[in-house]
Amino acid sequence: MSSLLVVGSLAYDSIKTPAGAVEKTLGGSANYFSLAASLFTQVKVVGVVGEDYSPRDKEILLKRHVDLSGVETVKGKTFHWEGQYEGDMNEAKTLKTELNVFEHFNPKLPASFSKSEFVFLANIAPELQLQVLEQVEFPKFIGMDTMNFWIHSKKDKLKEVLKKVDVILINEGESDLLTSSNNAIQAAPKIAELGPKMVVIKRGEYGFVLYSQEHGYYLLPAMPIPTVIDPTGAGDTFAGGFFGYLAQHNTLPTFELIQKACVVGTLCASFTIQDFGIKALEKMTLDDLKHRLASYKKAVLIEDNLFKI
- Supply the pLDDT for residue 189: 98
* Phi, psi (degrees; rounded to nearest 5) at 111: -55, -40
Q: Cα dihedral angle (210, 169, 283, 34), rounded to 10 degrees?
A: 130
Q: Would the pLDDT of 307 be above 70?
A: no
Q: Where are the domains of the chain?
A: 4-300
| Residue-wise pLDDT tens digits, 88-107 | 787 888 999 999 999 999 99
Average confidence (pLDDT) over 190-215: 96
Phi then psi dihedrals of residue 10, to 5 deg: -115, 125
pLDDT tens digits along 228-254: 999 999 999 999 999 999 999 988 999
pLDDT over 90 (residue 305): no
Per-residue pLDDT, 1: 72
Query: Averaged over 280-286, what is the pLDDT?
Result: 96
38 closest CA partner among 196, 250, 268: 268
Q: CA 216, CA 100: separation in Å to the nearest integer? A: 42
Looking at the structure, give the CATH architecture of the domain made up of residues 4-300: 3-Layer(aba) Sandwich (3.40)
pLDDT at 2: 80
pTM (2 d.p.): 0.95
Q: Say if CB 40 and CB 245 are below 8 A apart.
A: yes
